[in-house]
C-alpha cells in the first residue's frame, strides 16, 4: 500500500517528531507542504495530513495541499497543539469537500511558543514526549491493520 503524509512542521518540529517515528517503521513518503505546495497524491492509496495547530487551524500549506486531493481517497489526520484540545475542523472541512474517507485522527500536545505563549516561556513543555510519539506509531499501526 502506497502511503504519503503531507505535513508542515516548523517552530519546534513537534509534528515531524511523530512522523519520523512512523517513517522509521514503515515505508511512508513524507511530503513537506511548505516545499511542495501542490503534491501529486494520485498514486497513493492512503494519505495523511499533519500539522501543528495555528490559531485553531491547520497550517495553510497543508490545507492548500489537501484541496488538491483526488476525490474519494482514504485519509487520516495527525496534529500537535499547545492548547488542551485539538482543532481539526479546518482540515476536515477540506477533506469533506474532496469526498475523502477519513479513517482516523491522532493528536497530542506539542511545545508551543507561538504568539503570546512566548511571553510565558511556552506551554506544553516536554511534548511530544515518548508516550505521545508511541501513541502516533500505535495509531498508524491500527490504521494499517484496519485496512488489511
Per-residue pLDDT tens digits for 50-62: 999 888 899 999 9
Domain edges within the chain = 3-147
Burial of residue 104, with CB atoms counted within 10 A of its CB: 0-12 exposed, 13-18 middle, 19 or more buried: middle
Q: Return the residue matching grid coordinates 503534491.
A: 39
pLDDT band at 111 (very low <50, low <70, confident <90, very high): low
pLDDT tens per residue, range 9-41: 887 678 999 999 999 999 999 999 999 989 999
Residue 84 phi, psi dihedral angles, 5° rounding? -85, -10
108: confidence class by pLDDT, cuts 50, 70, 90: confident
Which pLDDT does position 55 carry in this prediction?
82
Would you state the CATH architecture of domain 3-147?
A: 3-Layer(aba) Sandwich (3.40)
pLDDT surpasses 60 at 81: yes
Specify the higher pLDDT residue, 148 or 33. Answer: 33
Average pLDDT over residues 73-80: 97
Instruction: Note the pLDDT of residue 146.
Output: 87
Question: Which 3-state string (H, E, C) describes the chain?
Answer: CCEEEEEECCCCCHHHHHHHHHHHHCCEEEEECCCCCCCCCCCCCEEEEEEEEECCEECHHHHHHHHCCCCCCEEEEEEEECCCCCCCHHHHHHHHHCCCEEEEEEEEECCECCHHHHHHCCECCCCCCHHHHHHHHHHHHHHHHHHC
Amino acid at each position: 500500500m502506497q502511503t504519503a503524509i503531507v505535513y508542515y512542521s516548523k517552530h519546534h518540529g513537534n509534528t515531524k517528531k511523530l512522523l519520523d517515528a512512523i517513517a522509521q517503521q514503515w515505508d511512508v513518503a513524507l511530503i513537506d507542504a511548505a516545499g511542495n505546495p501542490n503534491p501529486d497524491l494520485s498514486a497513493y492509496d492512503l494519505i495523511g495530513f499533519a500539522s501543528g495547530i495555528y490559531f485553531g487551524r491547520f497550517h495553510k500549506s497543508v490545507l492548500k495541499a489537501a484541496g488538491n486531493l483526488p476525490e474519494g481517497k482514504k485519509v487520516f489526520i495527525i496534529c500537535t497543539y499547545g492548547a488542551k484540545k485539538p482543532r481539526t475542523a479546518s482540515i476536515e472541512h477540506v477533506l469533506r469537500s474532496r469526498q475523502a474517507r477519513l479513517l482516523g485522527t491522532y493528536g497530542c500536545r506539542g511545545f508551543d511558543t507561538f504568539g503570546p505563549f512566548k511571553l510565558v516561556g511556552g506551554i506544553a513543555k516536554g511534548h511530544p514526549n515518548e508516550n505521545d510519539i508511541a501513541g502516533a506509531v500505535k495509531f498508524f499501526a491500527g490504521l494499517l491493520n484496519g485496512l488489511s
